Amino acid sequence: MPKDNTSDLKGVSEEIKSQLTIIPISTIEDVLKEMLGIQLPRIEQVIWSGATFGTPMTNIPG
């Protein structure tokens, strides 16, 4: 369930909650990790500093 909605569980009985696996998530990456067991790199690890769309690979700094 969305992490921001966990406060909505206050109205759900403990009996019901004990029968559920509730995983608060913040991003689609969290969903993929929990449901498929795969962990994607964070966007900061993917984007190269200073690179722009269409930049030839030879011109990328670093």
- The helices-and-strands tally (H runs, E runs) of the chain is 3, 0
Task: Report the 10 Å Cβ neighbour count for 31.
Answer: 12
In this predicted structure, what is the pLDDT of residue 28? 85
In this predicted structure, what is the pLDDT of residue 37? 86
- Rounded Cα gap, residues 8 and 56, in angstroms: 49
Helix residue spans in 18-55 (DSSP H): 28-36, 43-46
pLDDT tens-digit map of 3-59: 999 999 999 999 999 999 999 999 888 888 888 888 877 666 666 555 555 555 555
- Rounded Cα gap, residues 47 and 62, in angstroms: 12
In this predicted structure, what is the pLDDT of residue 17? 93
In this predicted structure, what is the pLDDT of residue 55? 55
